[in-house]
Amino acid sequence: MLQGLLSMLKRLRSSPDKELRILLLGLDNAGKTTLMKKLASEDVSHITPTQGFNIKSVQADGMKLNVWDIGGQRKIRPYWRNYFEFTDILIYVVDSADRKRVDETGFELNELLNDDKLAGVPVLVYANKQDLALAAKASEIAQELNLHLIRDRPWQIQACSGIRGEGIKEGLEWISQNVKKK
């Protein structure tokens, strides 16, 4: 009886939502802040470029997500490393309509994947801005970023439109599944 009670208490203690530290990275103008605000169900009509970073705690899918949204401009990228520690999930956001900077975004992602501090951290790539006519498909982005070469961690690509709020939930579901597996 006592044991039953104890295990019940234990379950109660562990079930309050898993707390996850999520790092949101990507080039400038990829749509990181918009995605974060959308996660928190906030207005996304007046997003200004992020100087520095924003943090938000969001409840989603039975998880408590502490989302760190770091500015993407070149000047700030050297600071990305300061935020790597204790990261549970890396979300990498790509502007699918920005064909000119495919190489640049691929390069930055590679740098992240090769960093020791982020070793083994599952990565979710959002192929954002699918609402734009010029947007590349998620499968094309996956190929251009060579995602199929990733062997050392779970990864996923998800098409989405931050502005319209489409596809974001599917990404979160993948996160919740991959965290449980850990």
Partner 1 sequence: MWLYLIRNYIYWYLRKVIKWFLRQTTKLCELQRICYAQPVGARRTLNVERSLRDSNRPQIRGLLTVLDARASDRSFYLGRSIQIPNAVSTITRVKRIDPCEYERFNNALGQCVNNIWSYMQLVEEIKTSAAIPYDCTNDVHEKSLLLLWDELMPNDRLENRVTKQWQDIGFQGDDPKTDFRGMGTLGLDNLVYFASKYTHLARCALSHSMHPIHGYAFAIVGINLTSMALGLVVDGSAKTHFYNKRNAPEYEDFNEFYCYLFWKFDKFWLDAKPKDLMEFAIHRKQFETIIRQELEKSDTVFLIDVPNDNTTDVLNR
Binding positions are 26-33, 50, 72, 128-131
Q: Nearer Cβ to partner 1, position 72 or 122? A: 72
Position among 51, 57, 59, 146 found at the interface with partner 1 (CB under 8 A)? 51
Please, which residues bridge with residue 66 across strands? 21, 57
Q: Which amino acid is at 34?
A: T
Residue 180 touches partner 1, criterion: CB under 8 A: no
Residue 49 touches partner 1, criterion: CB under 8 A: yes
The residue length of the chain stands at 182
Q: Nearer Cβ to partner 1, position 28 or 61? A: 28
Q: Nearer Cβ to partner 1, position 47 or 179? A: 47
Q: Residues touching partner 1: how many (CB under 8 A)?
A: 20
Mark the segment that binds partner 1 (CB under 8 A) among 66-74, 84-92, 124-132, 151-159.
66-74
Distance CA 61, CA 49 (A): 28
> Residue 58 CA to chain centroid, in angstroms?
13
Distance CA 26, CA 73 (A): 9
Catalytic residues: 73
Position among 48, 133, 151, 182 found at the interface with partner 1 (CB under 8 A)? 48
Tell me how far, at minimum, the Cβ of 151 lies from partner 1, in Å.
32
Distance CA 37, CA 93 (A): 14
Closest CA to 72 of 34, 32, 40: 32
Q: What is the DSSP string of 18-41?
A: EEEEEEEE-STTSSHHHHHHHHTT
Tell me how far, at minimum, the Cβ of 115 lies from partner 1, in Å.
18
Phi, psi of 94 (to 5 degrees): -120, 135
Cβ(164)–Cβ(5) below 8 Å: no
* Interacting residues with partner 1 between 13 and 42 (CB under 8 A): 27-29
Footprint on this chain of partner 1 (rule: CB under 8 A): 27-29, 45-49, 51-54, 71-76, 79, 82
